[in-house]
Homo-oligomer: A and B are copies of this chain.
Amino acid sequence: MSVAGVGEFGLIDRVTSRLSYGSTVLLGPGDDAAVVAAPDARVVASTDVLVEGRHFRRDWSSADDIGRRAAAANLADVVAMGADPTALLVALCVPADAATDWVEGLADGLGAEAAEVGASVVGGDMSASPTLTIAVTALGDLGGRTPVTRGGARPGDLVALAGRTGYAAAGFTVLSRGFRTPRLLVEAYRRPEVPYPAGPQAARLGATAMIDVSDGLLADLGHVARASGVAVDLTRDAFEVPPQMRDAAQALGVDPYAWLLAGGDDHALVATFPAATALPAGWRVVGRVGEGAGVTVDGLPFDGPGGWDHFR
């Protein structure tokens, strides 16, 4: 059955009937707007959009995978402020001949990823469009914590990383060259494993700045360096090339450090902490904040590709 066959309201019914709602949802889908608990009296909000052919391909990822990635990209932004995600809203534009099964799979992926952090899909909108497009807004609650911006890093701070980098970029390269393995890398591209609890944890530990790694570690630390008016130096030895990544890099003729340092979309969290901070498991020190500007690796500019621009 196509989405045109069931119509807008039929499709909305099919999708909302698959969703479940956590305790933060005071009023779910089906009215003019949802009502979500915001006990902190401040709400954290972020929007990301995924466009078919640019951010995902239906022949590379299942509907469920794409839903999980769309949710993860937004939930990561919320935890990168130190907040707990509470809700997602989804604007979905699909070709009229798309299968309702595909849309239901997407909703399942969005809902499942949100549920991992106790959040729920509370609303949205759908339209036919020639271009499959998924815009997600995530809301979160700070629980009394100070939001961790990009602008608070100070010279002398540690730079620490939670989660993986380079896996999704390696998986993307593998798929781009027409391969389907190594499975570890391809799955990392399809379904990022975001270290969600590390975000609020970093805020509690006194992180001075934090960002989720969506454009690549160098580019995203560049945002932190610029916003904080500092320099960041990464330690190359802090990054181990995992065996499957090393093998894939060799087979494809790629420098694996280009994946590790410049690959985006794993949604790791990178944060700066006062030097005396005792970092718990899950965080590892990968560099240091200094005076100056820009991001270096072992004191030198990185000579690989550095970032990502969605218009180029």
* A48 sits at the interface (CB 8 A): yes
Inter-chain contacts of A78 with B (CB < 8 A):
32-33
> How far, in angstroms, from A126 to B312 measured CA to CA in the complex?
12
Task: Give A129 to B311 CA distance when docked, in angstroms.
Answer: 9
A7 touches B131 (CB 8 A): no
How many angstroms from the CA of A89 to the CA of B78 in the assembled complex?
Answer: 14
CB pair B312 A54 closer than 8 Å: no
A130 part of interface (Cβ distance < 8 Å): yes
Find residues 221-254 in chain A having any chain B CB closer than 8 Å to their own CB: 227
Among residues of B, the one whose C-beta sits closest to the C-beta of A38 is: B38
A268 within 8 A of B: no
Q: Closest residue to A219 on the B side, CB-wise?
A: B9
Give, as a whole number of angstroms, the nearest-CB distance from A62 to chain B.
22
Given contacts A3-B311, A81-B32, contact A47 B131 (CB under 8 A): no
Interface footprint category on A: 35 or more
Across the interface, A36 reaches (CB within 8 A) one of B9, B45, B76, B151, namely B45
* Contact between chains at A47 and B310 (CB < 8 Å): no
Question: Do A124 and B47 contact each other (CB < 8 Å), given the known contacts A41-B41, A147-B27, A311-B4?
Answer: yes
A164-209 with Cβ < 8 A to chain B: none
Q: Which of A15-23, A104-112, A137-145, A256-264 contacts B (4 or more CB under 8 A)?
A: A137-145
Closest chain B residue to A96, Cβ basis = B311
- Among B8, B123, B147, point to the contact of A47 (Cβ < 8 A): B123
For residue A312, which residue of chain B has the nearest CB?
B7
B309-A33 in contact (CB<8A): no
